[in-house]
Amino acid sequence: MNVAIGLSGVILALVAALSGIVTIVIGLRYSRQKLLTYGARYSWLIFSGMAIATFAMQRALITRDFSVKFVAEHGSTLTPRLFNVATMWSALEGSVLLWGLVLAGYIAVVTIKFKGRYTDPMVAWALVVMFFVMGFFALAMIGPANPFQSFDPPAGYNGPGPNPLLQNHILVAFHPPMLYLGYVGFTVPFAFAFSALITGRLGEGWLLETRRWTLFSWGFLTAGIILGAWWAYDVLGWGGYWGWDPVENASLIPWLTATAYLHSVVVQERRGLLRVWNLSLICATFALTILGTFITRSGILASVHAFSAGGFGGWLLAFFSLIVVVVVGLIFWRGDHLRSPGGIDSPLSREGAFLANNLAFAVFAFVVLLGTVFPLIVEAIQNRRISVGAPYFDRMSTPIGFTLLFLMAIAPLLPWRKAKAGLLLHRIEWPAWGAALCMVLAVAVGARGAIPLLGFSMAGFAGMTAIRHLILSVRRQGLSGFLGRTNGGMTVHLGVILLAVGLIASSAFVDQGSLSMSVGQKVLVAQTDVTYLSSNVITHSNRIEEEVILEVDGQVLSPAVERFIASGQVVPSPDTRVTLFEDIQVALLDPPEGDAGKVVIQVTRQPMLVWIWLGGLLMLVGTVLSLFPLKRKPNLRIGRLGKGKVLVSPEQQL
């Protein structure tokens, strides 16, 4: 029954998407306003269809209905209920179903938001684009990524359960949905950008319609990436949080282009510049989410996250190619209308700094993309497999990261159009003191090395720039001075700076060591006193956990290894001592053996690692603050210009 119900929901969504496209296109062709309204209403059938399909899948997983092939291949009677729910996005077909559900939700919200405006060609074409994307994924769920195939389980069949790495931490319930809310959310601004190209309404109107949608999606993608890093740190037991894995990169690349877009769109709204660039960035962001899905779901690259996709990888690559070709063609077609009314007056201006910022983000995205897909290119041309490791990414990303920190520090200090030397020197005073103070503090606590000290100094520079802006804003506006795109953006900058400091400190000054121990033995490893107290074996419904009790610098930690009953696979379960200035993580590499209970442990000591998570949290707070408009108080003050007097706005005072 679950197979029939689920497949019926997918078919309903597909038919509704195709019917909506036909209805709206006919309405646009013949100026039939009623058809445009009727066409928009198909969004509710799309959402209903995907909700029915998701309900059927969750019902099958929770009740362990092994007559559904997806449940038989990835579910298990031994898997706890929470992880049974999360099993839906632990494999290819279920993750495509999640994509469809999230997209259907976005389409429904867009329909509500633009109620009464369905006859506007801009809104109508945007709905057509979103229906088309929905139709593609619904068709895929009937074809190569069908989650509702039938299966005849033998007697006593229990199922293997999901990958053990995806059922031993609570974050598996939140990390993928957050990523999908970000990934899929970029369909909305892409649809309006595409609509602007079709209708020829290439001014700033489509930007205003989609600014919050882009920010909303960017915030979810940020949360997904941070939670993924946290999950990797807590689960994989290698003492790290980012390994430049292809699937990690697949989420980072569209995040970089979306971040560039959020900066450069300000220039277009303010000066009418960078029209082609902004259209290209938002379309590239959406296209990169499809390419990232291809990397994740095609099985062509080795990754702890990747799924084998059969024929679905080819579908995604064809869809990605179609998007690129059509968008590039439309941009060339509308080339004359995309010309900006002016240009950048001076490189030493806020718009000049934003353009440099965009170029740095674009180069960063290209570097990561090249390192990720280069093995595929080599295999296609030379028929041999290679891998691009962390040294390439670290070497290439470090100078770009420092450049971005510098631009983050200097851009808010620059005025629009052209900066005067005297004004810039006045504004740079606080940030310069911040840079010097951070350098001194870093040296005082024992930091050494040119690159880490430069990083801390740049972080102090950028941090004081953001703090200066917020202080001036709060002095004029009170607590509402934290609201608005600019002020919320400064809070995001502070979060990025905390994250950058955590990255620099934890990677530059990491201390890691491993050794064998017997019960009662006390050793010094990675500058850490470790005493082996005892060991335990704990039996759970789906796994057997072998843990050791250690005293680590006076605190008891219990790292373990977990042997999953269904698959027999063994995965680590490290334990971590967390403080504001230092993390000590202990992983059990080999469980107790022999009468002495001999074990092999790995100790990783990293300073300021928790600042990464705090920085990510502050970035999300800033994103929320950016969603609320700032209602400026009429607080104009008298300024002097020669012998006369002029009114100076709060924005000009900055």
Q: Are 577 and 552 in contact (CB under 8 A)?
A: yes
Q: Please compute, for residue 363, the number of CA atoms within 13 A of its CA located in the half-sphere on the CB side.
A: 14
pLDDT at 654: 42
pTM of this prediction exceeds 0.85? yes
Q: What angle do CA 426, 430, 434 make, to 5 degrees?
A: 150
Q: Are 364 and 256 in contact (CB under 8 A)?
A: yes
Distinct helix (H) and strand (E) counts, the chain: 21, 12
Higher pLDDT, 410 or 639: 410
Helix (H) or strand (E) holding 437: helix 429-444
Position 384: which residue type? R
Higher pLDDT, 639 or 175: 175
Higher pLDDT, 437 or 80: 437
pLDDT at 649: 41
What 8-state DSSP symbol labels residue 197?
H
Helix (H) or strand (E) holding 589: strand 582-593
The pair of structure tokens assigned to 313 is 């990888």
pLDDT, tens only, 315-346? 888 899 999 999 999 988 887 777 766 666 67
Give the whole-angstrom CA distance, residue 228 versus residue 346: 41
Q: Is residue 213 predicted with pLDDT exceeding 80? A: yes
pLDDT at 239: 77
Q: Are 604 and 239 in contact (CB under 8 A)?
A: yes
pLDDT at 43: 94
Q: How far is CA 158 from the centre of its chain?
A: 35
Residue 418 DSSP SS3? coil
Of the given ranges (123-127, 235-239, 629-633), which has the lowest mean pLDDT?
A: 629-633
DSSP symbols for 630-652:
P------EEEEETTEEEEE-HHH
pLDDT, tens only, 62-98? 988 899 999 998 888 888 877 888 888 888 889 899 9
Q: Are 543 and 571 in contact (CB under 8 A)?
A: no
Q: Which residues contact 555 (CB under 8 A, 6 or more apart)?
A: 577
Give the whole-angstrom CA distance, residue 309 versus residue 300: 9
Q: Are 466 and 511 in contact (CB under 8 A)?
A: no
pLDDT, tens only, 597-615? 788 999 999 999 999 999 9
Q: How confident is the model at residue 650 (pLDDT cuts 50, 70, 90)?
A: very low
